[in-house]
A and B are shown apart, each in its own frame.
Chain A
Amino acid sequence: MVEEERVRVVRCGGSELNFRRAVFSADSKYIFCVSGDFVKVHSTATEECVHILQGHRNLVTGIQLNPNNHLQLYSCSFDGTVKLWDYVDGILIKTFVVGLKLHALFTLPSAEDSVFVIINKEKPDVFQLVSVKLPKSSSQEIEAKELSFVLDYINQSPKCIAFGNEGEYVAAVRDFYLSVYFFKKKTTSRFTLSSSRNKKHAKNNFTCVACHPKEDCIATGHKDGKIRLWRNFDDDKKYTYTCLHWHHDMVMDLAFSVTGTSLLSGGRESVLVEWRDATEKNKEFLPRLGATIEHISVSPAGDLFCTSHSDNKIIVIHRNLEASAVIQGLVKDSNIFTGLMVDPRTKALVLNGKPGHLQFYSLQHDKQLYNLDIIQQEYINDYGLIQIELTKAAFGCYGNWLATVEQRQEKETELELQMKLWMYNKKTQGFVLNTKVNMPHEDHITAVCFCNAEKFENPTLVTSSKDGHFKVWILTDDSDIYKKAVGWTCDFVGSYHKYQATNCCFSEDGSLLAVSFEEIVTIWDSETWELKCTFCQRAGKIRHLCFGRLTCSKYLLGATENGILCCWNLLSCALEWSAKLNVRVMEPDPNSENIAAISRSSVGSDLFVFKPSEPRPLYIQKNISREEVQWGVFVPRDVPESFTSDAYQWLNRSQFYFLTKSQSLLTFSTKSPEEKLTPTSKQLLAEESLPTTPFYFILGKHREQQDEKINEAFESELVQLPLTENIPAISELLHTPAHVLPSASFLCSKFVSSLLLSKETKSGEEIPEDVDMEEGKESDDSDEENDFTEKIQDTNNTDLGEDLLHQLSKSEEKELRKFRKVDYSWITVL
């Protein structure tokens, strides 16, 4: 990157996976979902993203398998093109330019050279279903302008269109009617339900439609939770329908199984309902799916279903209604109170997720790492219920501690507050609740901050509240005769003239604490909790407060609600400079002196990057977003970039992410970060190429056992293990038809010896001695053995690299030998 392009605002990950129905590949190995401008290919077995199909320049609105070649995928987008992909290799094959905004895509096996799309030509609210003839041509980009009109005045959602009986008819629903267009007869029948105008409280609106794959039967979902099964609809008069009613709220989506024996439905209840034989009494449920079911799709092979949920998640479900995989994107459907944070350990972005949860979202892989249940209460989804909200969260001590604040306020006077402190547990690799403080303050907590300075051996937390106090919490010994424990207690309560405490902030070295009381900033000594000095600018309440870093640590910055940004010098205790700027977001970069501020103007939001030492900004970008920016955060880069231009130097060590009001996560980059997302390793693909035979299961188990036994420290060892598919004896076993195989006893010795590691590959003559020594030990307790290996690990860490290699091979050899002794029995079972 020598001459960088202009830095621009790009959408970064976290796109809606649930925008359209997901599509399965013909063999159910892959699942495709739209994700912003891309199409993502996930493995159904491992949940990993295998490919990202990129090429559309606007939101992708529909994907379908090519019915004539199911290794190919069609996609359509708002950019007016239909693209054909080879999803196995992730290659764009062809682009068909239609030139109109395409809202949805349908394909039919009977219509070989055309696809169906939803467009709106004239009025903004009137949509048409048209078929587009895809001309045959060898060129990459082909104009496809031959449209033939099928249905007018339809709903724009693809859920409201369904093709039935191998493309003999198409059913479309909108408002209160169902229209069926018969391609052969070229006639449209329309069936209208009595609308709410005729009937009181009847919420008969159609919401979705599905067609039976084998029979002439159309299923429609309705707003009142009913499902109607229409039959005989080729006769305008003799048509008839059946009602199925279980959902108490709108039916969001419907899908028939491949054979048509069962119907799947889902809605806001977050329960997948399977209606067997389309009868009311014969139904199965898969409850507790977590969030509203938005879409349901069925794999062409019939073994898998999947549901897309409103919390940006796709669940792959087995035919027997067992959830098998979850593909979780950034959860977006809640209010963000906690703001954006970076988990110091995983470098994941942390923010409000599902109701009552904190989500850890990996920016690198665009997927959710995990959910931390903070509130730990059953979430009841109902209108008008006042829920417990997770309002504040903060990481401290390099990610060892997490503080969270939750509140629920039903009436003005009844505030329920709870602060929880979570300790990171190395063993379980997760946060464990350590201390729960009921009503830490009398009123809303406005800020929570940890003292992150290295010199403080004792973790310290400060909370400020509207009740006029700020409290200092410290970690103390909470041991009793039963166990050793630590807990948090309140150490100091400070206040200033009964003003509401609005912000608090530690200086970088932790020696000073700044607490803002409405318009006044107070500075406290963190050793003695003495009030050192106060700053008062009388320029409105302080909205943001932060200390400068590194060379600028003598400065304190405060942004007021009246649109003044002040910078105080802590040495001189005087105002260094002030500027008129309506700051909405102010975030310091942890790796440099830079501070980013986003201001709101009438046309949009502007970004200013500056150093506290000088009032002149380093970088200004106007109008980064038309919407209001709510939160921002600097995320340290793993590998520093090397922008040479002065203006972009602030991006070298950290990347700035911000979240707008409509919950789109944006960042600054010269290229789209999703382009940089690393597709999963080749190993994953190699694993999938292994056929799922009984051998596979045995070998797979086998490997798991190995994995369990071999210590975590030998992560690199996997590579050294001979991959099963490389061994000729095994491939011979697996790929020769059973009837031509010689007897098992003949193959056995060859097979077993193939699993052994040849000694030549291993280094060193000392091995035999070692083996002798360890064989003696093998009779000992296994715990001891673990201790031994752990010791090895410890020494490894301190030792030189070559020693490490040596040790690895030795212990590995030991493990394998042990395994050889133990695990032959399974072969005789065969």
Chain B
Amino acid sequence: MGEFKVHRVRFFNYVPSGIRCVAYNNQSNRLAVSRTDGTVEIYNLSANYFQEKFFPGHESRATEALCWAKGQRLFSGGLNGEIIEYDLQALNIKYAMDAFGGPIWSMAVSPCGSQLLVGCEDGSVKLFQITPDKIQFERNFDRQKSRILSLSWHPSGTHIAAGSIDYISVFDVKSGSAVHKMLVDRQYMGVSKRKCIIWGVAFLSDGTVISVDSAGKVQFWDSATGTLVKNHLIANADVQSIAVSDQEDSFVVGTAEGTVFHFQLVSVTSNSSEKQWVRTKPFQHHTHDVRAVAHSPTALISGGTDTHLVIRPLMEKVEVKNYDAALRKITFPHRRLISCSKKRHLLLFQFAHHLELWRLGSTVATGKNGDTLPLSKDADHLLHLKTKGPENIICSCISPCGSWIAYSTTSRFFLYRLNYEHDNISLQRVSKMPAFLRSALQILFSEDSTKLFVASNQGSLHIIRLLEGSFKHLHTFQPQSGTVESMCLLAVSPDGNWLAASGTSAGVHVYNIKHLKLHCTVPAYNFPVTALAIAPNTNNLVIAHSDQQVFEYSIPEKQYTEWSRTIQKQGFHYLWLQRDTPITHISFHPKRPMHILLHDAYMFCIIDKSLPLPNDKTLLYNPLPPTNESDVIRRRTAHAFKISKIYKPLLFMDLLDERTLVAVERPLDDIIAQLPPPIKKKKFGT
């Protein structure tokens, strides 16, 4: 593996924002997640739970409701009172429309998928018709006294249930009038609370309405008579979310104590048809409020204030007990938030509303393997760059020479020139950006920092030549006719001749920069690309996919390399394929052309192409062989994958020079320490 001096960086003070809503789409097996800062992320559950798309957040756009409509259209409603539809191809907002009812608290799409129901602050329930390219207001339902916090359609589409404060209303969709008003008990363990908030309702096809409320109750109501049928007191705090499976044989609720309870419909005795709802297993995967839950056919999905997205498979629904049946906990975004200037040892950290530039510390000391070296110069916070406006930063990059910084929000693109004079830095904004450079999905500088590559959300790629203090637009690669897919990942060859770009689903396109034309397209693969890189000298393109496959494609020869064919023939080690997190970064050693360096959130790996590949019988995660072992043993146990799990969770790792690595870690405890304190629970024996 070789010995490296490692900069172990822990000052990236990144805190993901809490999850507010999750919405599961059964047809595409995709999950939409919205966070408290307004970000919406799309996870592809079929592609190893990869976060394929994301829509950047906006300060005023706190999402309160999220739902999928027919044709895989995604709608959200928020506290600014707007209904937003997202364009999943171009990765931008299609339109925003004011519902004129004050903040929107809840949304529900009709079972047929053509009508959208919105519950507002002023107590109105509004029905919208979903037209092919817009939504159209149809009518208001009977106005209620207080805000509508939850909505649910009866599967037949004739009735809806709306949860408000202290009561649940059942509406007839045809007439728009309230049929029943079911008052919820305010009492909480004998103490009368001020108000009982209905956080969630679910309407079942047999007419049962299930409600969850702030008094910790899960209640079953008969909507025909408007009476309470059964009451489960499950928590001492609020029950905040509910999701029912499509078969209506199980549902899941999330509480403010961080517990997720599973309820199942089981038959009372084996030979009778009578069935009853029974609380079965509690899951405690969260420390904070579980604000949102979803129920996929095979898994329970939950997310909350503690920023984790937890996917807990249901064992009884899983056909084969393979690795897909394991619990997943997704905390960090599956994209790069950090870029690095190798020359000046600078790190650029991207936050939601600002950028931070740090200079790495240095040391003169030397030591043995495993030693912690004392710093002669501490890491230095050079720059804190705040964005203007309420929009979140989509992407950012620092040039390898360290003198350019570029970032983009949804509506603006920024380029800065950095000047270093001894210890002082001066920042100069490059003004007058061209009109076409409005928003970028990915920014990349060439190795010699003379060119800037920008992937815009219209699917085009811009190449810009950077001069001292000014720039010049060189070329724009337009997307192939018929596709509007945006490119999310870029890679440039160190010699500056080749540019590789990949979208969310189609193959990787390789452009020749010298001749400014499309060179070739790597054949499309079933799973999305998670990382791209072009090796120096050989110009081999290394592609990592979300199913943990790694391909090596020779650009000059326009075909997969021999090594890539060999590994595809033999297959990867089963433990390699069972890793949780996608590979987010690939780099190369300048002096060792046979090495590929890559990492995910929990490991760092050097693939040595010269060594034999491991088979399923060999130990994949071998500890570093002790140096005193004889060469024979070392050679026998050595295989191509050298894996180190010292640094985790690992957000970024790159080679600064031949003997120096930089690793950026973000310990989970540090994130939890920055979250609001969880609900105090008495622990027995303390």
Binding site for B on A (CB under 8 A): 165, 168, 214-216, 229, 231-232, 234, 237-243, 248, 279-282
Main secondary structure of the interface of A (DSSP, over half): loop
Q: A231-B278, A232-B266, A240-B278 are in contact. List 4 more A-B contacts (CB 8 A).
A: A168-B271, A229-B278, A232-B264, A248-B684
Given A248-B685, A282-B233: A239 and B268 interface contact (C-beta under 8 Å): no
A-B contact pairs, 27 of them (CB 8 A): A165-B270, A215-B268, A215-B269, A215-B276, A216-B267, A216-B268, A229-B278, A231-B264, A231-B266, A232-B264, A232-B266, A234-B270, A238-B316, A239-B316, A240-B266, A240-B278, A240-B280, A240-B281, A240-B316, A242-B278, A242-B279, A242-B280, A242-B281, A279-B234, A280-B234, A281-B216, A281-B233
CB distance from A180 to the nearest CB of B (A): 11
Is B232 part of the binding interface, using a Cβ–Cβ cutoff of 8 Å?
yes
Q: Assess the B280–A231 pair: CB atoms within 8 A.
A: yes
CB distance from A458 to the nearest CB of B (A): 55
B667 contacts the other chain (Cβ, under 8 Å)?
no
The yes or no answer to B282 lying at the interface (CB within 8 A) is yes
**Chain A residues with Cβ under 8 A from B234's Cβ?**
279-281
In whole angstroms, how far apart are the Cα atoms of A239 and B271 in the complex?
Answer: 16
Q: Do B281 and A243 have beta carbons less than 8 Å apart?
A: yes
Residues of B within 8 A of A239 (CB): 316
Q: How far is the CA of A282 from the CA of B230 in the complex (A)?
A: 14
Contact between chains at B232 and A279 (CB < 8 Å) = yes
Minimum C-beta distance from B108 to chain A (A)? 29
Please state if A216 and B233 are interface contacts (CB–CB under 8 Å): no
Chain A minimum-CB-distance residue to B249:
A238
Q: How far is the CB of A230 from chain B (nearest CB, A)?
A: 10
Contacts of A238 in B (CB 8 A): 316
Q: How far is the CA of A240 from the CA of B279 in the complex (A)?
A: 10
Using CB atoms, name the residue of chain B closest to A233: B270
Enumerate chain B residues within 8 angstroms of A168, measured Cβ to Cβ. Answer: 270-271
Proximity bits, B237-279, A CB within 8 Å = 1, else 0: 0000000000000000000000000001011111100001011
Q: What residues of chain A lie closer than 8 Å to B267, measured between beta carbons?
A: 216, 232
Cα distance, A214 to B268, chains bound together (Å): 8
Which residues of the partner chain A approach B279 to less than 8 Å between Cβ atoms? 242, 279
Contacts of A232 in B (CB 8 A): 264, 266-267
With a cutoff of 8 Å between Cβ atoms, the chain B residues found around residue A281 in the complex are: 216, 233-234
Docked complex Cα distance between A243 and B57 (Å)? 40
Query: What is the CA–CA distance of A241 and B685 in the complex, to the nearest angstrom?
Result: 26
Contact yes or no, A237 B316, CB < 8 A: yes
B88 to chain A, nearest CB (A): 36
- CB-CB under 8 A from A214, the residues of chain B are 268-269
What 0/1 readout, one digit per residue, does chain B (284-309) give for beta carbons within 8 Å of chain A? 00000000000000000000000000
Nearest B residue (CB) for A281: B233
For residue B269, which residues in chain A have a CB less than 8 angstroms away from its CB? 165, 214-216
User: Bound state CA distance, A168 and B270, in angstroms?
Assistant: 10
Distance (whole angstroms) from the CB of A274 to the closest CB of chain B: 16
Return B546 CB to nearest CB of chain A, in Å.
29
User: A248-B685, A279-B233, A281-B233 known; A241 and B281 CB under 8 Å?
Assistant: yes
Is A241 within 8 A of B280, CB to CB? Answer: yes
| Shortest beta-carbon distance from A304 to chain B in Å | 27
Min C-beta distance of A217 to chain B, whole Å:
8
B interface vs A, CB < 8 Å? Answer: 216, 232-234, 264, 266-271, 276, 278-282, 316, 684-685
CA distance A280 to B280 in the complex (A): 11
A228 CA / B238 CA spacing, docked (Å): 25
B203 to chain A, nearest CB (A): 24
Closest to B318 in A: A237
Residues of B near A237 (CB, < 8 A) are: 316
Q: How far is the CB of B284 from chain A (nearest CB, A)?
A: 11
Closest CB-CB distance, B280 to chain A, in whole Å? Answer: 4
B229 to chain A, nearest CB (A): 13
Residues of the A chain whose Cβ atoms lie less than 8 Å from the Cβ of B233: 279, 281-282
Roughly how many angstroms separate A79 CA and B176 CA in the complex, as a whole number?
78
The 7 closest A-B pairs by CB, nearest first: A281-B233, A240-B280, A231-B266, A238-B316, A234-B270, A215-B268, A216-B269
B47: min CB distance to chain A, Å: 27
CA distance A362 to B210 in the complex (A): 61
B269 CB to nearest chain A CB (Å) = 5
A820 to B267, CA, bound (A): 64
Counting chain A CB atoms within 10 Å of each CB, the highest count among B216, B271, B280, B685 belongs to B280
CB distance from A541 to the nearest CB of B (A): 47
Beyond A231-B278, A231-B280, A242-B279, whether A216 also contacts B232 by CB under 8 A is no
Interface hub of A214, A238, A240, A241 (most chain B Cβ within 10 A): A240
B578 to chain A, nearest CB (A): 19
- Asked whether A243 lies within 8 Å of B316 as measured between CB atoms, the reply is no
- Report the separation of the CA atoms of residues A216 and B316 in the bound assembly, to the nearest whole angstrom: 18
- A236 to chain B: closest residue by CB: B316
Q: Which residue of B lies closest to A225 (CB)?
A: B684
Q: Which chain B residues lie closer than 8 Å to A234 at the CB level?
A: 270
Determine the distance from Cα of A551 to Cα of B270 in the docked complex, in whole angstroms.
Answer: 81
Q: For B276, give the chain A residue with the smallest CB separation.
A: A215
Q: Which of chain A's residues have a CB closer than 8 A to the CB of B276?
A: 215
**Which residues of the other chain, A, contact B278 by a CB distance below 8 angstroms?**
229, 231, 240, 242
Complex: A248 Cα to B684 Cα, angstroms: 8
B215 vs chain A, min Cβ distance (A): 11
Cα–Cα distance between A280 and B232 once the two chains are bound (Å): 9
Contact A240 B264 (CB under 8 A): yes
> What residues of B have a CB within 8 angstroms of the CB of A231 in the complex?
264, 266, 278, 280
Highest count of chain A CB atoms <10 Å: which of B264, B269, B685? B269
Q: Which residues of A contact B270 (CB under 8 A)?
A: 165, 168, 216, 234
| Complexed CA–CA distance, A280 and B685 (Å) | 19
User: When chains A and B are docked, how far (Å) is the Cα of A232 from the Cα of B684?
Assistant: 31
Residue of B nearest to A234 (CB): B270
* Whole-angstrom CA separation of A57 from B42 in the bound complex: 76
B282 near A243: Cβ-Cβ < 8 Å: yes
Complex contacts, A243 vs chain B, CB 8 Å: 281-282
Q: B268: shortest Cβ distance to chain A, in Å?
A: 5
Closest Cβ of chain A: how far from B143's Cβ, in Å?
A: 36
A282 to B233, CA, bound (A): 8
- For A280, what are the chain B residues with a Cβ–Cβ distance below 8 Å? 234
Complex-state Cα separation, A165 to B316, whole angstroms: 24
Q: Considering the chains assembled together, what is the distance between the CA atoms of A234 and B266 in angstroms? A: 11
How distant is A28 from chain B, measured CB to nearest CB, in Å? 27
| Bound Cα distance A237, B268 (Å) | 17
Complex alpha-carbon distance, A280 and B234, angstroms: 7
B281 proximity list for chain A (CB < 8 A): 240-243
Cα distance, A248 to B233, chains bound together (Å): 22
Alpha-carbon distance A215/B275, docked complex (angstroms): 10
User: When chains A and B are docked, how far (Å) is the Cα of A241 from the Cα of B280?
Assistant: 5
Contacts of B232 in A (CB 8 A): 279
- A279 contacts which chain B residues (CB < 8 A)? 232-234, 279
Closest residue of chain B to A164 (Cβ to Cβ) is: B269
Residues in A with CB closer than 8 Å to B316 are 237-240
Closest-by-CB residue of A relative to B319 is A237
Q: How many whole Å from A85's CB to the nearest CB in chain B?
A: 33
Point out the residues of chain B lying under 8 angstroms from A282, CB to CB: 233
A755 CA / B552 CA spacing, docked (Å) = 111
- Interchain nearest-CB distance for B139 vs A (Å): 42
> In the complex, which residues of chain A have a beta carbon less than 8 angstroms from the beta carbon of B264?
231-232, 240
A809 to B580, CA, bound (A): 96
Residues of B within 8 A of A229 (CB): 278
Q: Which residues of A contact B684 (CB under 8 A)?
A: 248
Give Cα A168–Cα B276 distance, bound, in whole angstroms.
20
Residue of A nearest to B234 (CB): A281
CB distance from B612 to the nearest CB of A (A): 34
Most buried by A among B234, B270, B685: B270
Task: Return chain A residues, CB-CB under 8 Å to B685.
Answer: 248
Complex Cα distance, B277 from A232, in Å, reads: 12
Q: How distant is B315 from chain A, measured CB to nearest CB, in Å?
A: 8
- Interfacial chain A residues near B268, Cβ < 8 Å: 214-216
In whole Å, how far is B577's beta carbon from the nearest beta carbon of chain A?
Answer: 24
- CB neighbours (8 Å) of B280 from chain A are 231, 240-242
